[in-house]
């Protein structure tokens, strides 16, 4: 419910480790504007993620790649405005670093992540991947005072290389993911999102890592779960296989709005017949001139 273990100070990234120690499941939902933020806060989410999935959900792109850092900042600020509880009761706000905002050198990554904390209400950033270059970025960000949530498995920013298929399905790739997870933890990540990987792998990592493992399509043996809110509400046309909707939100919305439109047309006043102009007066003949007088 967005409460720190002490309950009287804002929830901090490091508090999620205490959640894991206490056996308290972590609930993380995405938001992209003030309205969605108010909904997920009222629902009791512990963490609100301004995910780069908004590129597809909100901005209409085919992938997450086109969204820019400035767009992420704009949406993150809108989400912050939608959180209405006192600070000590607000959920932890995390913002995704978009594609190419952290892959072009350590200084550029610090500038991008620093802009998120400086120019939005987010308290942490999330980034994808476990390559040595990414681990170095995490280390640099953490040493610069920027909390980092890591993300392994299906990483949507690598869609052109990995697609959207399930990841780490063989022993070699599972060991590679395991080593990446350990390296990200050693670099200072405060949590790890595991997306679309086998449940037994996620459970094994949950037990091996000190930081919490937050799953999405990774089975139930995780320290928490994250979902794209639009998927849970059934608002998207294509649902991921690991996120069945809780309600048919898209159909319900179309039906309700369509009923309003139809009702508006049916209640319109009948059209009156056109008013004919009054008949024109017959032309008057000017009087004949008077006869001249002699």
Rg, the chain, Cα only:
30
- The percent of the chain in helix, strand and coil, each rounded to the nearest 5, is 40, 10, 45
The CA distance from 36 to 228, in Å, is 11
Q: With contact defined as beta carbons under 8 Å apart, do 196 and 167 qualify?
A: yes
The CA distance from 10 to 89, in Å, is 7
Report which of 169, 149, 162 is spatially closest to residue 214, judged by C-alpha positions.
149
Q: With contact defined as beta carbons under 8 Å apart, do 51 and 98 qualify?
A: no
Q: Which of 41, 71, 195, 255 is catalytic?
A: 195
Residues 6+ apart with CB under 8 A from 208: 178, 181, 182
Residue with tokens 């990446």: 180
The answer to whether 237 is a known catalytic residue is: no
Q: Report CA-CA distances (Å) from 94 to 62, 131, 150, 180.
A: 23, 22, 11, 21
Q: Provide the b/e sequence for 131-145 (b: ≥16 CB within 10 Å).
A: eeebbebbbbbeeee
Active site residues: 195
């Amino acid at each position: 419910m967005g409460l720190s273990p002490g309950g009287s100070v804002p929830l901090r990234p490091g508090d999620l480790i205490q959640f894991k120690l206490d056996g308290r499941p972590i609930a993380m939902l995405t938001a992209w504007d003030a309205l969605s933020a108010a909904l997920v806060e009222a629902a009791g989410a512990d963490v609100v993620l301004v995910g780069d999935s908004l590129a597809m959900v909100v901005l209409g792109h085919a992938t997450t790649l086109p969204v820019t850092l400035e767009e992420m900042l704009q949406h993150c600020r809108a989400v912050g405005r939608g959180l209405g509880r006192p600070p000590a009761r607000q959920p932890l706000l995390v913002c995704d670093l978009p594609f190419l905002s952290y892959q072009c050198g350590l200084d550029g990554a610090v500038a991008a992540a620093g802009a998120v904390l400086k120019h939005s209400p987010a308290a942490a950033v999330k980034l994808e991947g476990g390559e040595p270059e990414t681990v170095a970025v995490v280390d640099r960000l953490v040493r610069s005072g920027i909390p980092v949530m890591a993300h392994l498995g299906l990483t949507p920013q690598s869609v052109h290389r990995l697609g959207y298929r399930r990841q780490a399905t063989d022993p070699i790739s599972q060991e590679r993911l395991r080593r990446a997870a350990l390296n990200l933890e050693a670099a200072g990540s405060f949590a790890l999102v595991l997306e679309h990987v086998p449940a037994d792998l996620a459970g094994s990592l949950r037990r091996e890592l000190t930081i919490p493992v937050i799953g999405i399509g990774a089975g139930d043996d995780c320290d928490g779960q994250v979902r794209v809110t639009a998927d849970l509400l059934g608002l998207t046309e294509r649902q991921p296989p690991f996120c069945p909707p809780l309600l048919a939100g898209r159909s319900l919305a179309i039906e309700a709005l369509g009923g309003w439109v139809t009702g508006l047309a049916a209640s319109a006043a009948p059209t009156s017949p056109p008013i004919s102009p009054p008949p024109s007066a017959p032309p008057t003949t000017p009087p004949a001139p008077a006869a001249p007088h002699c």
